[in-house]
Structure 1
Amino acid sequence: MKFSSKVHDGILSLQVEGDLIGQEAGLDLIEHINDHISSGLILAAMDISALRYMNSSGIGVLITGLTKFRNAGGEMVLIKPSESVKKLLIITKLNSIFTIVDTEEEAIVELKNK
């Protein structure tokens, strides 16, 4: 799994790609999230459209990220999950916990309204 990020207008924009399997794969991502929360950024849009596969450990990474942002008084929105990831979110009922949108623009609107 690889990820990149940028900050624009007070929102951390993350792009995640590859396979999010195993806790180790997500440790760098969680550390990156922690660093930004520590610097005062509490809103994030995570583009997971290029995430091919995710297992239970990957789900744990997403939940950890969401929890960290919410505990800081912020929010994290998921952008355009692939069909396989979307099915996994539905099966696990996590689609009711995460805000899921189709575009970065929609994510920004959601986050600005929080």
Structure 2
Amino acid sequence: MKVKYTVKKEDDFLIMTISGDLIGDEVGPKLVEVISDAIQENFKKCIIDLSNVRYISSSGIGVLITMLTKMRNVDGEVYLTSPSEHVKKLLIITKLNNIFSVFGSVEEAKENVA
């Protein structure tokens, strides 16, 4: 299933909603570019809504880590929200749940990091 994403800017949050299988192929560089552009616009908080992501491959994980690194390099942060059970297990197995802040919903993330 091809990855689609949408980007919204709300207050000082960049909110990215990803759907499909995040396997980092052609869409990976585009997602990283969105983060780079947001940093140019002085966004420091990025929420990535994973509620519609069924699967993440190792290169998809690489994309998420690249996005996080870019944000942290400018004292920003990336928050993940609404991972499916499968994605949640993946975050635990890869210990990424210790690196990323994971919230149940976009609203929850916004309330906790405002």
- Smaller-chain TM-score bracket: over 0.9
User: What residue in structure 2 maps to residue 12 of structure 1?
Assistant: 14
Residue 45 of structure 1 is aligned with which of 24, 44, 47? 47
2:86 pairs with one of 84, 87, 108? 84
Give the RMSD, CA atoms, in angstroms: 1.0
Identical-residue share of aligned pairs (%): 50
* Match of residue 22 from structure 1: 24
Instruction: State the shift of 1:39 in Å.
Output: 1.1
**Could you tell me which of 100, 103, 107 is aligned with 1:101?**
103
- 2:112 match: 110
The 4+ residue runs of structure 1 with deviation greater than 4 A are none
Count of matched residue positions in the alignment of Structure 1 and Structure 2: 112
Gaps of 5+ in 2: none
Q: Deviations over 1:36-55 (max 9, x none)?
A: 11111111111001011111
What is the distance in 2 between the residues matched to 1:103 and 1:32? 21
Matched, 1:75 2:89: no
Question: Residues 66 and 110 (structure 1 numbering): CA distance in 2 closer, same or farther, change over 3 Å?
Answer: farther
Give CA deviations for 1:39-83 in whole Å, capped at 9, x if unaligned.
111111110010111110000001111111111111111001011
Could you tell me how far apart the structure 2 residues matched to 1:50 and 1:22 are? Answer: 16
Paired letter, 2:10: H
Question: Does the 8 Å CA contact 2:24/2:62 hold for their aligned counterparts?
Answer: no
User: Any stretches of 5+ residues in structure 1 without a counterpart?
Assistant: none
TM-score by structure 2 length?
0.93
CA shift for structure 1 position 24? 2.7
Contact 1:48 1:80 in 2 (8 A): yes
In the TM superposition, what is the alpha-carbon distance from 1:22 to its structure 2 partner?
3.4
